[in-house]
Every structure is written in C-alpha cells, then in structure tokens.
Amino acid sequence: MSSLLSKGLSLYTLKNVLALHVLVDYFGSRKLHQITNGTTLTSTVFQSTGNAPGTSGYINITDLKGGKVGFGTSDNDGKLDAVYVKSVQEIPYNISILQISQPLNSAEAEAPTAEPSKLNLTEILSKQGCKAFSDLLIATGADATFSETIDGGLTVFCPTDSVIKGFMPKYKNLTAAQKTSLMLYHGIPEYEPLQSLKSSNGIVNTLATDGANKYDFTVQNDGDDVTLKTKVNTATITGTLKDEEPLIVYKIDKVLMPRELFKAEEVAEAPKSSKSKSKSKHKEEDAYAPSPSDEDPADQAADNNGVAGLDGRRLVLAVLSMCIGVLLM
C-alpha cells in the first residue's frame, strides 16, 4: 500500500480509491480461472456510489498465461496494474478476500474530491424541535465533543423541547460535570441507521463512556419500535430528524437517565389505614352475608315456627300463674 499512501491523497479521495477495490460481484479463486472468454468487466462500489464518471468504476479481470489473473481499471488504457496473488478468505457466493500484487491505479478515483460541507449539529437540532437540548449541549460544552465525532460517525438521541422542560428540575440538581456527562450520554460514536439498530440489539457505549464509568444502555426492539433501556428508565425513538451519513439524529420521548447519575425511580402505593381496612372488612362481610330474600323458604318457615312456639309457651305460663294466684286468695 506504500505506493498509494505516498501520493498524499485526501481522506475523501482515498475513500474513492478503496471503493474501487471492492467488487459488487462474487469472485472466488475458482471463478477467477473460469472466466468466460478469458476476460470480463465487473462493477465496483466506486461505480455504485455515483462518484465515478462514466464507466471508470469498472474493473477489467483477465486470465493470463501461466495461470495468472490480471486486474486493471477500465480507464487505464487496457493496462493491467496488478495480478492475483492468493485467496485470503472465502465464504462461497457471499464474500471473498483476494490478495493482489499492488493497488489499482485510476485517474478518476484519485482525482481531488471536495470535502463535504460541515454539518452543524446544534443548528440542525434547533431547527428540528430540539432547541432546548441544543442549548444544553452548548452550555455544558458537550457540543465540541459531538462535533469532533461527526466525521467518524455519530448517532444522536434528542429529547424534544417539551421533554427537556419537564426534566429541568432534576437537571438543575446535577453538578457541572454531571450535566456534561448526561449530554454525552445521548450520543453514540457510530453512524447507526434505524435498520442497523433493529438488527443489532444489545448494550452500546456512549460518548460518556470512560473506563469504569460505563454510561451504557441497551437497544431493544419492541414490535416496530426501538427502545433505549437504561438501568433507570426506558425511552422510545419516535422519529428521525436528520440522516446524512456520517450523522444521524433521532427524536426520543424521554431524557436518558444513566444509573451513574440517577437512582431507579420507584412508585410505591401508600398503605391503607387500619380504619379503612376495617371498613373494607365489614363491607366484605356484608357482601358475603345473605339477605332474607336469599334464604331457603323452608329455613324461613322453620325460623317463624320457632318464634311462634316460644310466644305460645310464654302465654301458657302467664295464664297458669294467674290461676294459682286466684286459688291462693
């Protein structure tokens, strides 16, 4: 690779050159030696990006004498710069890694490439309903870390203005260093489109991760939704505000609360008073006590006869007492 590095190409030009070395078709060692008519043109990632003028992103692969295979770009006047050395790794019809003798030369791929316009994260957030979050990034100085990370890939989870407003009482209780860590907790140093998040559930590190201070959370699918679960709370991605590689910004419905800064929120039900329990118990007993209309008719008749018999005996005793009294007189 020294011949390529010695050219002093910019990072963005090097991306084009490397993309020229990735074919969009499968070529294993066997296929290389069985090319129809001994030569073929195949497309590369450089061609598929749309950055390659005309067909300059195509590679010429040709079988040579002595069992050799040559490689050259289509805009190189038919010159084959490199030859096949060996197969490094092959997973048939999925991917193969082939070693070649030297990098492929291409005037088009090596042409100066303009640096893409700088992405102003705080400006993007302010225009997309996340001005409160943007203001906190600036106030804590965390915006500098976010901006420095963009070129290498950055995913931002932004609570909306109304969410930040409701969270401010808790935010004000944090120290300056804790506020900065909280802001950094809302960024991942990788470009993670939604489909990638859905297919790679699990624990992720954040911009706040620092040695023993994990500051991580878990990405999980919840049906069609993607949730971000900390040890304290769970937020849901509700929309995509910006997706322009290497930056993607999501809108979330809660501020992510790391366990390093907050305790798990618990909502305990207040115990009932003994008085209310007593009332409840009486009500429960009343509820289970049958009403007279619910009793068996035979039982009611037996009860009535018992009362009538008792009253009759009392009447007889009263009459006898009167008779005895008269006789004694």
Task: Region of 247 please: left (phi>0), alpha (psi -120 to 50) or beta.
Answer: beta
In a domain, residue 140? The reply is yes
Positive or negative, the CA dihedral 268, 272, 273, 274 is negative
What phi, psi does 327 have (nearest 5°)? -60, -40
What phi, psi does 9 have (nearest 5°)? -75, 150
| 187 membership: H or E segment, kind and range | strand 187-188
Residue-wise pLDDT for 2-17, tens only, equals: 999 899 988 889 999 9
Q: Total structural domains in the chain?
A: 2
In a domain, residue 112? The reply is no
pTM above 0.85, yes or no: no
Identify whether residues 248 and 164 lie together within a single domain: yes
Decide which of 34, 69, 100 is a domain's last residue: 100
Identify whether residues 125 and 248 lie together within a single domain: yes
In a domain, residue 83? The reply is yes
In a domain, residue 147? The reply is yes
Instruction: Quickly list H helices, 20-130.
Output: 29-32, 45-48, 121-127
- Residues 219, 29: Cα–Cα separation, whole Å: 40
Identify whether residues 92 and 126 lie together within a single domain: no
Geometric angle at alpha carbon 154, from 151 and 158, rounded to 5°: 140
Identify whether residues 156 and 237 lie together within a single domain: yes
Decide which of 234, 252, 270 is a domain's last residue: 252
Identify whether residues 83 and 176 lie together within a single domain: no
Would you place residue 77 in the very low, low, confident or very high pLDDT band (cuts 50, 70, 90)?
A: confident
pLDDT: which is higher, 304 or 95? 95
Would you place residue 213 in the very low, low, confident or very high pLDDT band (cuts 50, 70, 90)?
A: confident
Range of the domain at 96: 1-100
Decide which of 252, 275, 297 is a domain's last residue: 252
In a domain, residue 113? The reply is no
In a domain, residue 231? The reply is yes
CATH of the domain at 141: 2.30.180.10
